[in-house]
Chain A
């Protein structure tokens, strides 16, 4: 069966520090991968998606970047965090066919 792992679960970082959130998927090949952000009491904002290794599409211009170094690995990064980067970050994957998303458990980032 397929599983998705996302870490760290919780992160408290100072303004200006770097960020790296990692997500890996097991049990499937060539998944579509996504990073979403959820602000408190709001819906999900799509940040990045990837349909293959090295292929990254950015939905919203911002202080973040994403990379896909391996087929089932997706990394969200920042060189210098801003206060506005605080939020709940969710990694997800889907097959090429249905579009149904499978989410990780999320990473809560607090920037102080």
Chain B
């Protein structure tokens, strides 16, 4: 079964707006990662947050992690049409970082 579940499944916004995607998971984790996938392409790693971290920034990306609620959010500020893609959260657990479990993703469409 999927460990991470993204919400919403699809999100459509206008260029310049902020986009927020959420991820919930079920078991304890070592870290949580966010990936981006353009249509028909491989996934690209965006950011990793460890279980002892609460917030992390990378450029226009902001990730939060609430281990008590077993949830994470990805915020993309000042979105651009080029941000249109699917975004996946992935959790590393089981005492090892070797295996990641992915959710089904959020399809983000940024309209120019």
Which residues from chain A sit less than 8 Å from chain B, CB to CB? 6, 32, 36, 41-44, 46, 49, 51, 59, 88, 90, 92, 94, 97-106, 108
CB distance from B25 to the nearest CB of A (A): 13
Q: Is the CB of A44 within 8 A of B102?
A: yes
CB distance from A8 to the nearest CB of B (A): 14
Residues 23-57 of B, flagged 1 when their CB comes within 8 A of A and 0 if not, give: 00000001101010000111111001000000000
Which one of B100, B104, B105 has the greatest number of beta carbons of chain A within 10 Å? Answer: B100
Among B2, B97, B99, B103, the residue within 8 A (CB) of A97 is B97
Residues facing A in B1-19 (CB within 8 A) are 2
Residues of A within 8 A of B44 (CB): 103
Residues of A within 8 A of B30 (CB): 99
Q: Is the CB of A42 within 8 A of B42?
A: no
CA distance A105 to B90 in the complex (A): 18
If A98-B97, A99-B30 touch, does A43 touch B45 (CB 8 Å cutoff)? no
Residues of B within 8 A of A44 (CB): 43, 88, 102
Which one of B30, B48, B99, B104 has the greatest number of beta carbons of chain A within 10 Å? Answer: B99
Residues facing A in B37-90 (CB within 8 A) are 40-45, 48, 88, 90
Residue contacts A-B, CB under 8 angstroms, 12 given = A6-B42, A32-B98, A46-B99, A46-B100, A46-B101, A49-B98, A90-B42, A92-B42, A92-B43, A99-B48, A101-B43, A103-B42
Residues of A within 8 A of B92 (CB): 99
CB distance from A105 to the nearest CB of B (A): 5
CA distance A6 to B42 in the complex (A): 10
Residues of A within 8 A of B100 (CB): 46, 99, 101
Across the interface, name the chain B residue whose C-beta is closest to A41: B104
CB distance from A92 to the nearest CB of B (A): 8
Q: Is the CB of B31 within 8 A of A106?
A: no
CB distance from A103 to the nearest CB of B (A): 4
